Chains A and B, each alone.
Chain A
Amino acid sequence: MSALPIDFALAWDSLPQMAEGLVTTLLITVLVLVLGLPLSVLVTLARMSRSRILSWPAAAFVVFFRGAPLLILLYLVYYGFGQIEALRDGPLWVIFGSAFACAVIGLTLNHVAYMVEVVRGSLNAVPAGLVEASAALGLTPRETFTYIRLPLAMRYGLAAYQNEVVMFTKGTAVVSVITVIDLTAVANELFEETYDPFTPMLTAAAFYWCLVNAIRLGFGALENHLNRHQRREQAVKPTTPAGAAAAAAEPPAGAPVAPLRRMIGSDRRPVPVKAAAPALSTATPKEHAL
C-alpha cells in the first residue's frame, strides 16, 4: 500500500462538486451568523432581565437548545414540523418544507443558545465602574448600554465568539443528514459512487480546514482592528515617561469613546473635568467557555 492512498485525479475531478458543497456550507454558516447575532443579544437581554416572565423562558431556551445535541435538533425541526398538519397547509410551509431552511433554523437555535452565554459573559466583564460613571454623567441606561457596555463587550467577547463560530462551522457538517447537499454530503456521495474511502473525505477535509483557518485569520484581523488603540500604547511605552504621558493625554481612538464624546459635545453641557480620565481598562476578561 502506498504511503498516501489518495487518487489525485479523482480529487481534481471532484473539485467543482466540492466547491458547490462548500458554497452551501458557507451560505448556511453566514445565514446562521447573521440571524444569530441579533437574536442572541435579544435572548441575552431577556435572560438578564429582572422580570421573571422574560428571564425564565430564556433560561429554559438556553438549557434545552444548549443541552440537546445538534443532530437531534435537526431531526426535531426537519421531521417534527412536517408532522404538524396546520403547518403543512399553512403559508409557512415554504420555510418548514425545505431542508435548507430547516437546517438554518436548527443551527440558529443551537448557535443562539451557545451565544447567550458568550454575550452574557462579555457584558458582565465590562467593569462596573464604567457603568456607574456613565450613570453619573447623566446617560440614560439605554445610552449606557449602546455606547458603553455593548462596544466594550464586543471587544471582550471576541475570542469566545471566534471559538463558537469555529465550533459551529464544523458543526454544519451534520446538516447532510437532513438531505442538504453540503460539503460532507458531496464527499459522502462521491464515496458511494467510487468506494474510495480516503480521497473524497480528505478533499472535503482540506476544504473545511481552509474555511476554518480563513475564519481564524478574519477574526485575528478584526481583533487587531478593535484593539488598535492598545497597539499604539504599546508602541509608545518603551520611550521616555514624558512621551508615555503625552500618549495618555491624547484621546484614545478606541470605538467606545468616540460616540460618547460626540454626544457630550452636541447636546449636553460639557462636564468640567479636573483630572485626565484614566485609560480604559485593557485587561482581557477571564476566558469564556469554549
Chain B
Amino acid sequence: MELFSDQFNGYLWQMVQGAYITLQLFAAGFTLALVLGTLIGIVTLSRNWLIQAVWKTYASIIMGVPSLLIIFLLYYGGSAMLSGLFGTDRSFDVTPFGAGVTALTIVYAAYVAELVHGAVMNLPKGQFEACSALAIGPVAAWRHVILPQLTRLALPGLVNIWMIVLKDTPLVSLAGLNDLVANAKIAAGATKEPFIFFIAASLFFIVFSALTLRLSARLEARFGRGLAEVKA
C-alpha cells in the first residue's frame, strides 16, 4: 500500500481518533483509581476486623484475577448488576467505555491502596505522634502533614501503576470499544499492512510512556528537594 495515500491517511486519522478515546479512557480510569485507591488505602489502615476482612477479600480477588476477566464481567453483567442495585423495572445501557473505566478503577484502586499502605509504613511514626502532640485534628493532619509526605514516598510506585494502567487500557477494545488498537486492527486487516499500523500503535504507547517518565523524573526531583542526597 502506498504510504500517505488518501486511503492510508484516512486510516491514520481513524487511529488518531482512537488514540483520543484511549487517552480519555486512560485518564478517567487512572484518576478515579487514584482517588478511590487513596481513600480505600486510608480507610483500611483501621484495625477494625470487618474493614480488614473486606479489604483482604477485595485485594486478594483483584490481585488474583486478570483485569480482562473483570472488564468482561462488568461489560456483560453490568446492566444486570445495575438493575439489581437500583430496581429491576429500569434497564441500563452499559457502554464499553463505562465498563472499561469502572473495571480499571476497581482493579487499580486496590493496587493504589496497597501502595498507600506501604507509604504509610515508611513514614516515620513521629509524624503522627507530633500531630497529636500539637493537637492537630486528624483531617488537618492528613491534609497538611501526612498526605504531602505520602505523595513523595508513593510517587515511584504510582509511576509504575501509571505504566501498567496504560498498557491495560487497550484491553477494553476487546469489549468493543473503538480505541486506538481496535482501529489499528481494522486498518491492518483492510490494507494487509499489519506491521505499519500495529507498530504505529505501539509507538504511540512507547512515546507516551517515555514522555511521562521524563515528567515523573522531574516530579520526583521536585518532591525530593531538601531530602535528596548529593550524588558523588
Contacts and interface: CB of A to CB of B under 8 A. Distances in A.
A5 interface: yes
B154 interface: no
A71 B171 contact: yes
B69 A69 contact: no
Contacts of B171: 71, 174
A187 B65 CA distance: 13
Given A1-B88, A184-B68, A72 B205 contact: yes
Contacts of A197: 73, 76-77, 80
A171 interface: yes
B209 A202 contact: no
Contacts of A290: 157, 160-161, 164
Interface string B125-153: 00000000000000000000000000000
Contacts of B64: 208-209, 212-213
Contacts of B61: 205, 209
B84 A1 contact: yes
A72 B65 contact: no
Contacts of B188: 75, 79
Interface in A166-206: 166-167, 170-174, 177, 184, 187-188, 191, 197-198, 201-202, 204-205
A167 B168 CA distance: 11
Contacts of A173: 66, 68-69
B65 A67 contact: no
B205 A205 contact: no
A68 interface: yes
Interface in B162-187: 164, 166-171, 173-174, 181, 184-185
A289 interface: yes
Interface residues of A, number: 41
Contacts of B199: 76
Interface of A: 1, 5, 63-64, 67-73, 75-76, 79-80, 82-83, 166-167, 170-174, 177, 184, 187-188, 191, 197-198, 201-202, 204-205, 208-209, 212-213, 289-290
A114 B84 CA distance: 42
Contact of B69 (A68, A83, A201): A201
Contacts of A187: 69, 72
Given A67-B206, A212-B64, A72 B201 contact: yes
Contacts of B184: 72, 75
22 contacts: A1-B84, A64-B206, A67-B202, A69-B181, A71-B173, A72-B181, A72-B202, A75-B184, A75-B185, A76-B199, A79-B185, A83-B193, A171-B66, A172-B66, A173-B68, A177-B174, A184-B66, A191-B72, A205-B61, A208-B69, A209-B64, A290-B157
Contacts of A83: 192-195
A170 B66 contact: yes
B69 A204 contact: yes
Given A70-B167, A173-B68, A174-B171, 4 more contacts: A5-B84, A69-B166, A198-B80, A209-B65
Given A70-B167, A75-B185, A208-B69, A80 B210 contact: no
A191 B195 contact: no
Contact of A67 (B73, B160, B205): B205
B7 interface: no
Count chain B CB atoms within 10 A of each CB in A1, A68, A69, A201 and give the residue with the most: A69
Contacts, number: 125
Nearest to B171: A71
A79 B195 CA distance: 9
A201 B73 contact: yes
B66 A76 contact: no
B205 A68 contact: yes
B38 interface: no
Given A75-B185, A79-B188, A197-B73, A63 B66 contact: no
B47 to A, nearest CB: 24
B35 interface: no
Nearest to B213: A67
A5 B66 CA distance: 21
Nearest to A289: B160
Contact of A201 (B76, B84, B181, B193): B76
B63 interface: yes
Contact of A75 (B68, B198, B206): B198
B206 A208 contact: no
